[in-house]
Amino acid sequence: MKLISISLRNLRIRLVATVLTMMSIIVATALYAAILVMAEQTEARYEGSIGGFQAIAGPNGTSELELVLNTIFNVGEASGRIPLEVCEQLRKSRGSRFRRSQVRYAIPQARGDSISRFNFPVVATIDEMFSKFEWKREPLQFAEGGPFEYSWDELVALATGLAAHENGKRAGDEVIPERPLLQKKWKQAVVGARVARSLKLKIGDVVVPVHGKLGEYDTHEHPEAACAIVGILEPTNSPIDSTIYLPIGIHLLIDGHAGGVFINKLGAGQSPVKAESMPVDPMRIALTAVICDPLDHMGSQILRKQFGSHEEAQVAWPQDVVPKFLRQIGNAADALAVIAWLVLLVAAVSITVAIYNTMNERRREIAIMRSLGARRFQILAIITGEATLLSFFGAVLGLVACHSAEYFMQPTVEDLTGVYLDWTLFKVWELWLVLGVSGIGAIAGLAPAVKGSMTQVADNLAQNY
Amino acid sequence: MIHLRDVQKSYSRGDQTVLACAVDRLDIESGEQVALIGRSGTGKTTVLHILAGILRPDRGEIDVAGARLDKLGEAARDNHRGRNIGMVYQTFNLLQPFTALENVLMGALFGRGAGGDAKERAAALLEKVGLGDRMHHRPGELSVGQVQRVAICRALINDPQLILMDEPLGNQDKATGGQVLDMMLQIASDNDKTVVMVTHDPGSAERMQRTVDLATLRGDTATSSGATSVETSR
């Protein structure tokens, strides 16, 4: 028998009071841990996820943060569209006074569809996503299979065909060029590691894109665009893992998209209705973003200048936007942490009160132990031990509650914020948190412990209960 | 084993000082079994607590089991009590949430330590008093006689030199309690333990080798004439 077993037994015989007091510790610890986890994993996620996205061209009229969050972190909806000519401009530096392109790559992306109950976002793009795009200075690696084949030239050809068809319709020609057909060879998909893991997908399986997100108004499946999986990416611990990549040709041709794939360019004083009857340019095909990587510092400066006064597009720089965003999150996390500490303080006071209130009824028990030879410090240790154990178990259960919440809230949190909460991740600070909370509990137990240790032995032994 | 000289203990009750006990001289030799008797209020329990080191007298010399308790601090007296003295109370004072075995082990924990073979020793003691099959029962699940035996085992667990008993038959019928007391005294005798029992029950006192009437040890008689206890030896 040890002093700690007496402390444990004392907690057990006052089980209801113990559980109720422990609840406050559990809540405080879980709250504090959740704040830290969110702040930490958000930071890790956002800082670690900008590795390949050096610059993002997106529509004007939206914030840079919104553009970055949507394009990199799959958060929210694409807030606008930019014409294909922006991408072409980046690729060829067309319209600028520089002869060569200032970027290593400029890859068009179109979003708006998703897959499955997890609402994994679909990104329609071209094959350069797997050949030129660099994730932390390395091309994306395939765990299984390989990339789909859909080149920039195919996209331009398709845009030209669609424009010819659309222009024929708008002009009311008798012979309208045939609308390009969805080709079977395009029906290929590459999925991120988490998509494959969550949906238990393997090479050859078929995924059907959903317009919008399941559960939202006006969502519908695109069975005509069902794609066979040709590649599964290696994990990157970034939102890439939760993304499905399809050839952009599919996006442009599936039902509900075709009529609206062109962005009308309004002239001065031109009404939108009139613009809809004007001829379309193949380079006015709508994209949601273009991801690009400037060649060098000079390239970055040129891009900044080039897009500083662009009438339709802007360029966002994730490495500038994300740290600012994280600072704001950090401030909010600090404020929440203060609240969590206050909750913990209240919990500590509740420990003091709960144990202090038992001291009167325990005078005889303490006197008996003293009569057996227990020294004051041993009584002090037993009672402080109770408070410490109460806090320790509360802290451990608080962490369990935090990790459970991470597990259950993970899909929602990822959907809302783009942060994937890895509930299996245990950090060293969690150990320190348990020790810290236990220490606070021990301090909270000192007042009742001192009172208990001062119990008069002879007086209380004399009582007959 | 026990030598008290000019010991006096009083309490303050408001403005008044009440003399709780006064012993001019008391000597008990090693291995003796002595009953301290006296009417209610003569300070029997106070003397017992002074012998145990629970109370410190206002004055006097107290030599118990080789230690001058009047010169020791509280922690040292606690340590001395835990190691050298076993106590059995009128209400037995077992801790209700703990089993019989744990109650006995608690005696070891605060005495010579509950490590090593303490558990085996506790179990052996409980077996010896016929509680081998009840050692995992809580006091509430035991009869008064069984509780008394657990209390005796707890008093013996540290192999103390001195056993102090405060009205050990106070809460039970004489026949059952008497048998257990006899068993206790036999164990003490076999192991050369000194036993001091406070009682107002003549039947219990008769079981002891010697009886000392505390009423005769009060300071007013003791101060002038030295050893004044009325003793009956058997």
pLDDT tens per residue, range A294-313: 888 887 888 888 888 888 88
Tell me, yes or no, whether A272 and A374 share the same domain: no
Q: What is the mean pLDDT of each run of 10 residues along chain A (465 residues)?
A: 88 89 91 86 75 82 86 79 89 59 87 71 92 86 95 93 87 82 90 89 89 64 87 88 91 69 73 73 90 83 81 87 83 84 88 88 90 92 94 95 90 72 84 94 94 88 58
How far CA A110 is from CA of A107, A134, B7, in Å, comes to 10, 19, 99
Residue A372 within any structural domain of the chain: yes
Tell me, yes or no, whether A334 and A457 share the same domain: yes
Task: Supply angle C-alpha A452, A456, A459, rounded to 5.
Answer: 135
CA distance B81 to chain A (A): 5
Per-residue pLDDT, A210 = 77
Per-residue pLDDT, B224 = 29
Half-sphere exposure of B170 (CA within 13 A, CB side): 15
Question: With contacts defined as CB-CB under 8 Å, which chain B residues touch A8?
Answer: none
Residue A321 within any structural domain of the chain: no
ipTM value for the complex:
0.87
Inter-chain contact B74–A376, Cβ cutoff 8 Å? yes
The tokens 């301090």 sit on which residue?
A: A443
Q: How far apart are CA B27 and CA B164, in angstroms?
A: 15
What are the tens digits of pLDDT across the range A64-101?
888 888 888 777 777 788 999 999 888 886 445 555 66
Q: Which residues from B are below 8 Å from A when comparing CB atoms?
A: 45-46, 49, 52, 54-55, 74-75, 78-79, 81-83, 87, 89-91, 93-95, 97-98, 102, 105-111, 114, 118, 154
Inter-chain contact B79–A373, Cβ cutoff 8 Å? yes
Q: Domain span at residue B70?
A: 2-233
User: Which residue of chain B has the CA closest to A377?
Assistant: B75
Substitution target in B10, B48, B51, B78 with the highest count of A β-carbons within 10 Å is B78
For B42, the token pair is: 């003569």
Per-residue pLDDT, A396 = 96
The residue type found at A203 is I
CB atoms < 10 A from the CB of A103, how many? 24
Tell me, yes or no, whether A123 and A30 share the same domain: no
Hey, is B233 helix, strand or coil? strand
The residue type found at A70 is N
Q: What is the CATH number of the domain that holds B15?
A: 3.40.50.300
Inter-chain contact A6–B54, Cβ cutoff 8 Å? no
Q: Is A15 exposed, middle or buried (0-12, 13-18, 19+ CB in 10 A)?
A: exposed
B189 sits in which H/E element: helix B174-190
Per-residue pLDDT, A239 = 83
How far CA A227 is from CA of A196, A244, A252, A384, B226, in Å, comes to 14, 11, 15, 64, 112
Per-residue pLDDT, B227 = 35
Per-residue pLDDT, A254 = 79
Cross-strand partners of B61: B5
Tell me, yes or no, whether A91 and A27 share the same domain: no
Residue A50 within any structural domain of the chain: no
CA distance B152 to chain A (A): 12
Inter-chain contact A373–B114, Cβ cutoff 8 Å? no
Give the DSSP letter string of A228-290.
EEEEEEPP-SSGGGG-EEEEHHHHHHSTTTGGG-BPP---TT--HHHHTTS---GGGBEESEE
How far CA A262 is from CA of A237, A331, B191, in Å, comes to 35, 42, 106
Per-residue pLDDT, B225 = 31
Tell me, yes or no, whether A7 and A128 share the same domain: no
Tell me, yes or no, whether A26 and A63 share the same domain: no
Number of domain units in chain B: 1
Question: Is pTM, for the whole model, over 0.90?
Answer: no
Tell me, yes or no, whether A7 and A106 share the same domain: no
Question: With contacts defined as CB-CB under 8 Å, which chain A residues touch B81?
Answer: 371-373
Q: Domain span at residue A22?
A: 3-44+326-461
Number of domain units in chain A: 2
Q: How far apart are CA A116 and CA A437, in angstroms?
A: 42
Tell me, yes or no, whether A282 and A332 share the same domain: no
How far CA A198 is from CA of A191, A208, A327, A426, B177, in Å, comes to 11, 16, 32, 22, 73
Q: How far apart are CA B143 and CA A154, in angstroms?
A: 95
Crossing angle of helices A376-417 and A15-48, rounded to 10°: 40
What backbone torsions phi and psi does residue A21 show, to the nearest 5 degrees? Answer: -70, -40
Inter-chain contact A13–B97, Cβ cutoff 8 Å? yes
Per-residue pLDDT, A95 = 45
Per-residue pLDDT, B175 = 67
Q: How far apart are CA A384 and CA B197, in angstroms?
A: 36
What are the residue ranges in chain B where pLDDT is below 50?
221-230
Q: Which of A282, A316, A350 is the last residue of a domain?
A: A316
Chain Cα centroid distance, residue B135: 23
